[in-house]
Amino acid sequence: MSEHGYDEFVEDDITIQEVLNGAATAIAVEDYPDFHKGPCVLVLEWDKNNQPMHVVWGIPMGCDGPAVLVTAYRPDSEKWNEDFTKRTK
């Protein structure tokens, strides 16, 4: 995880365990197959308090896997629709 990604993670009070627990029921929101560092996907997950989290998982360029956690953050309700699956701005 990048330093910026880690900072977002901590700032939004998200734990690794919550991200890992939410991965099984994650909903794909945006796909970035041509990202310059390797293909990534933005998913919607829910934490232990049923609060939304956006999580970016990626496969490093030149690798087949496994996916790595790029970052996680709380989606801004002013920039996303009511179910946090489509950008409004």
Task: Provide the pLDDT for residue 51.
Answer: 95
CA dihedral (66, 10, 2, 46) positive or negative: positive
Is residue 80 in some structural domain? no
The C-alpha atoms of residue 43 and residue 8 are separated, in whole angstroms, by 16
Is residue 86 in some structural domain? no
Mean pLDDT across the chain, nearest whole number? 92
Is residue 89 in some structural domain? no
Task: Provide the domain limits for residue 14.
Answer: 3-73
CA dihedral (32, 76, 74, 12) positive or negative: positive
13: exposed, middle or buried (Cβ count in 10 Å: 0-12, 13-18, 19+):
exposed
The answer to whether residues 75 and 89 touch, using CB atoms and an 8 Å cutoff, is: no
Task: Provide the pLDDT for residue 5.
Answer: 73
> Number of folded domains in the chain?
1
Q: Tell me the per-residue pLDDT of 18-52, one tens digit each, with 9 for 90 and over.
A: 999 999 999 999 999 999 999 999 999 999 999 99
Is residue 41 in some structural domain? yes
Is residue 79 in some structural domain? no
Task: Provide the pLDDT for residue 44.
Answer: 98
pLDDT at 9 over 90: no
- The model's confidence at residue 56, banded by pLDDT at 50, 70 and 90, is very high
Is residue 32 in some structural domain? yes
